[in-house]
């Protein structure tokens, strides 16, 4: 009898109960611990909402002024300073500041980016690289928006390779000053936000020279303007029109022997003594450089959050449009069908929606780590945790910003020609977010950074590499260690064990919806790719090939491995947060969404899994079928799933599309 029961259970078609969508509960899930801060920002966005319409027709100069006023207003209201210490007008809560920035991305993105430049990059550099006297002198005015400034790192000739930048900061012992100079045109500061119109001061990254000796890149405070007039020795040029972010005044800066007091060196990690001697708590110059840079990691986390917020705006518009717009009679004669009732339309939008939830969880995780590391005290406290955070922030930023580009594009197309009008928001979303994939670190370079961390296991002995670092790393011996750590046959055994059906059960239908199966698949891919990279690097070097050539040949494999790593972290974060939910209809809906994300991710790379024996052909096809089933299950809760983003109606805009 028991076996008959089992057979009939197997034979019965699985008809899971319909999902329920409680927008408020889903919103609580997404808002996480900083719901109150997010609501504050939402209220402020409603007040600032007129900019979303005004921007369409304002000439650039006026738009910039409007945006500046809003950025200053944010500071004046005390909403800029969640991450600053309370004694300077801040809230002392880094997690809150990340949540606030992410929510601010529901609004105008020029306001967001200019705020980010002012309070995040400029403010963050003064806070993290400066010491008490800089904090006291500048933070109160900076946090309240009275002192506007720039973060002058990027140069025309040096984008991603910051260590190689050319601006000079020479200490002149005779006058006890630092002399800042742009030696050539390739070393002009470029694309610097706040520079063209508004910045009164800049944190300038330059090669510090003391007593004729170079000490690598350091940050120096250099005044740019007084009462709106550019100071002597400083030349500023407007970068002019851009694809988007037209409310941000990007500019180029040249310095011609500009003298600032020695005290303007932001000297948390290295200082020039009264007797003119250079002194640093960190001996190794590469390590010093990366320690300084590491303190600025919040910038990358913030860009990721901005990409997330913008993706949500695009998705809510496209989903609501698809729940309103009818096209062609498909089901009922005389009645055109809703777009979202078409299978292809579900395929286009719902996996992006699921991925947006997954990335929200991943971003929450990064924000939490950031909060922990930076609230924990000194930068030396746990260097490994810091490196892991930097890697995670870099990888998450890359995935989030590519996701925004893909999502906004797909949503625009899903709204047809109406999506092309400036009045309907996509125009702004597309144009403004486009640069996210390459600013605050080019995504490909960032993923290489992630790979380097994985290959070295964040061990400090490899911190002396430059930011790219892979090539010189190739010549190192540690590859052996990596191969041992990730030896493919061990992994295979380990991961097979968690798979339903055991060693020979790869083809069983059961288990596709088991998060442990899904995670094991992503973990297997990651570790297999990483071991493969290590082997190929090692083999290339052993064969006597030049390291640069070896690296170039392996580079796409390196980037694939890093991406797989971050994909695994994203799924882990989503699975963990769903598991932490109380049982009930909201968890069921989230679990289905998580399944969709996991299976769509595996499906997208099924070629790899098939090549590596981790999917049989029938199981691969079963995944595609299961994705389709999940799309149909999730279709009825699409509306609450986007309502849960909590984008205030007046801020969503796109009234032609969403009604």
Nearer to a second copy (CB atom), residue 493 or residue 556 = 556
Q: How far apart are CA 653 and CA 659, in angstroms?
A: 9
Question: CA neighbours within 13 Å on the CB side: how many for 493?
Answer: 4
Instruction: Return the exposure string of 559-591: e unless at least 16 CB atoms fall within 10 Å of the residue's CB, then b.
Output: bbbbbbbbbbbbbbbbbebbeebeeeebbbbbb
- Which tokens go with 402? 């590519």
Kindly give the pairing relationship between strand 229-230 and strand 234-238. unpaired
**CA–CA distances in Å: residue 596 to residues 14, 337, 565:** 17, 24, 19
**Residue 535 vs 612, nearer CB to a second copy:** 612
Helical packing angle, 547-579 and 383-414, nearest 10°: 80
- Spell out the residues 6+ positions from residue 414 whose beta carbon is closer than 8 angstroms to its own: 318, 321, 322, 339, 345, 348, 349
Measured CA angle at 418 (ends 415, 420), to 5 deg = 95
Say how far apart CA 61 and CA 64 lie, in whole Å: 5
Alpha-carbon distance of 126 to 203, in angstroms, equals 8
Q: Cα-flanking dihedrals φ and ψ of residue 201, to 5°? A: -150, 155
Cβ 445 to a second copy shortest distance, Å = 8
How far apart are alpha carbons 562 and 556 in whole angstroms? 10
At closest approach, how far in Å is the CB of 50 from a second copy? 16
Comparison of 42 and 612: residue with beta carbon closer to a second copy: 612
Question: Which of 6, 186 has the CB closer to a second copy?
Answer: 186
Shortest CB 316 distance to a second copy, Å: 19
For a second copy, which is the closer residue by CB, 376 or 420?
420
Q: Two tokens at 573?
A: 């974060």
Q: Which is nearer to a second copy, 413 or 493 (CB)?
A: 413
Whether residue 517 contacts residue 507, with contact meaning beta carbons closer than 8 Å, is answered with: no
Closest CB 594 distance from a second copy, rounded Å: 22
Q: Are strands 213-223 and 201-210 parallel, antiparallel or unpaired?
A: antiparallel
Q: Which of 316, 365, 440, 463 is catalytic?
A: 440
> CB-hemisphere CA count at 13 Å for 73?
13
Q: Which is nearer to a second copy, 156 or 372 (CB)?
A: 156
Cα(152)–Cα(155) distance, rounded to whole angstroms?
8
Residue 284 contacts by C-beta under 8 Å, 6 or more apart in sequence?
463, 464
Query: 204 vs 578, which CB is nearer to a second copy?
Result: 204
CB 416 to a second copy: min, Å: 5
Q: Is 440 a catalytic residue?
A: yes
When the beta carbons of 131 and 156 are compared against a second copy, the nearer one is 156
- Smallest distance, Å, CB 549 to a second copy? 7
Smallest distance from a second copy to CB 79, Å: 28
DSSP 455: H
Shortest gap between Cβ of 369 and a second copy (angstroms)? Answer: 27
- Whether 364 and 356 have beta carbons less than 8 Å apart is answered as no
Minimum Å gap between C-beta 134 and a second copy is: 28
- Cα–Cα nearest to 388, from 569, 580, 527: 569
What is the rounded CA–CA span in Å between residue 203 and residue 218? Answer: 10
Residue 104 CA to residue 86 CA, distance in Å, equals: 21
Catalytic residues: 440
């Amino acid at each position: 009898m028991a076996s008959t029961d089992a057979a009939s259970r197997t034979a019965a078609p699985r008809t899971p109960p319909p999902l329920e969508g409680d927008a408020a509960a889903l919103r609580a899930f997404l808002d996480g611990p900083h719901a109150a801060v997010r609501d504050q920002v939402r209220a402020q966005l409603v007040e600032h909402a007129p900019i979303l319409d005004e921007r369409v027709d304002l000439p650039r100069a006026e738009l910039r002024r409007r945006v500046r006023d809003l950025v200053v207003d944010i500071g004046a209201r005390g909403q800029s300073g969640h991450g600053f210490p309370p004694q300077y007008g801040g809230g002392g809560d880094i997690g809150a500041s990340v949540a606030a920035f992410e929510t601010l991305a529901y609004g105008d993105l020029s306001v967001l980016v200019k705020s980010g430049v002012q309070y995040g990059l400029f403010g963050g550099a003064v806070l993290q690289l400066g010491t008490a006297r800089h904090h006291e002198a500048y933070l109160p005015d900076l946090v309240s928006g009275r002192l506007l400034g720039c973060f002058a790192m990027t140069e025309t000739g040096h984008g991603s390779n910051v260590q190689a930048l050319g601006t000079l900061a020479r200490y002149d012992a005779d006058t006890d000053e630092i002399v800042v100079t742009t030696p050539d045109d390739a070393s002009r500061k470029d694309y610097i936000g706040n520079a063209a119109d508004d910045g009164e001061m800049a944190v300038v990254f330059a090669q510090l020279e003391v007593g004729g000796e170079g000490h690598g890149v350091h940050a120096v405070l250099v005044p740019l303007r007084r009462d709106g007039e550019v100071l002597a020795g400083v030349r500023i040029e407007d970068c002019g029109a851009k694809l988007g972010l037209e409310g941000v005044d990007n500019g180029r800066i040249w310095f011609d022997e500009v003298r600032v007091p020695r005290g303007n060196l932001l000297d948390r990690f290295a200082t020039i003594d009264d007797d003119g001697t250079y002194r640093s708590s960190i001996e190794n110059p590469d390590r010093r450089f990366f320690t300084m840079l590491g303190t600025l990691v919040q910038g990358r986390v913030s860009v990721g959050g901005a990409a997330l917020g913008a993706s949500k705006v695009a998705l809510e518009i496209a989903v609501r449009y698809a729940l309103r717009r009818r096209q062609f009679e498909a089901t009922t004669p005389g009645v055109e069908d809703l777009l979202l009732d078409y299978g292809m339309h579900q395929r286009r939008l719902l996996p992006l929606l699921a991925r947006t939830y997954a990335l929200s969880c991943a971003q929450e995780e990064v924000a939490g780590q950031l909060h922990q590391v930076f609230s924990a005290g000194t930068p030396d406290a746990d260097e490994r945790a810091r490196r892991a955070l930097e890697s995670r922030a870099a990888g998450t930023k890359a995935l989030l910003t590519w996701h925004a580009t893909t999502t906004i594009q797909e949503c625009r197309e899903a709204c047809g020609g109406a999506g092309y009008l400036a009045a309907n928001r996509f125009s702004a979303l597309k144009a403004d977010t486009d640069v996210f994939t390459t600013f605050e670190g080019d995504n490909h370079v960032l993923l290489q950074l992630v790979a380097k961390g994985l290959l070295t296991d964040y061990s400090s002995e490899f911190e002396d590499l430059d930011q790219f670092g892979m090539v010189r790393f190739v010549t190192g011996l540690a590859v052996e260690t990596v191969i041992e750590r990730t030896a493919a046959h061990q992994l295979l055994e380990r991961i097979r064990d968690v798979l339903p059906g055991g060693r020979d059960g790869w083809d069983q239908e059961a288990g596709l919806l088991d998060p442990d199966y899904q995670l094991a698949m992503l973990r297997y891919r990651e570790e297999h790719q990483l071991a493969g990279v290590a082997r190929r690097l090692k083999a290339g070097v052993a064969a006597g090939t030049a390291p640069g050539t070896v690296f170039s040949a392996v580079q796409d494999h390196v980037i694939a491995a890093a991406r797989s790593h971050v994909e695994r972290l994203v799924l882990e974060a989503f699975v963990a947060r769903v598991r932490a939910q109380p049982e009930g209809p909201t968890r069921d809906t989230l679990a289905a969404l998580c399944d969709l994300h996991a299976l769509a991710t595996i499906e997208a790379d099924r070629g790899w899994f098939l090549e590596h024996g981790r999917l049989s052909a029938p199981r691969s096809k079963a995944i595609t079928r299961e994705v389709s089933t999940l799309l149909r299950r999730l279709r009825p809760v699409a509306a609450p799933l986007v309502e849960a983003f909590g984008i205030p109606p007046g801020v969503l805009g796109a009234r032609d599309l969403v009604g």
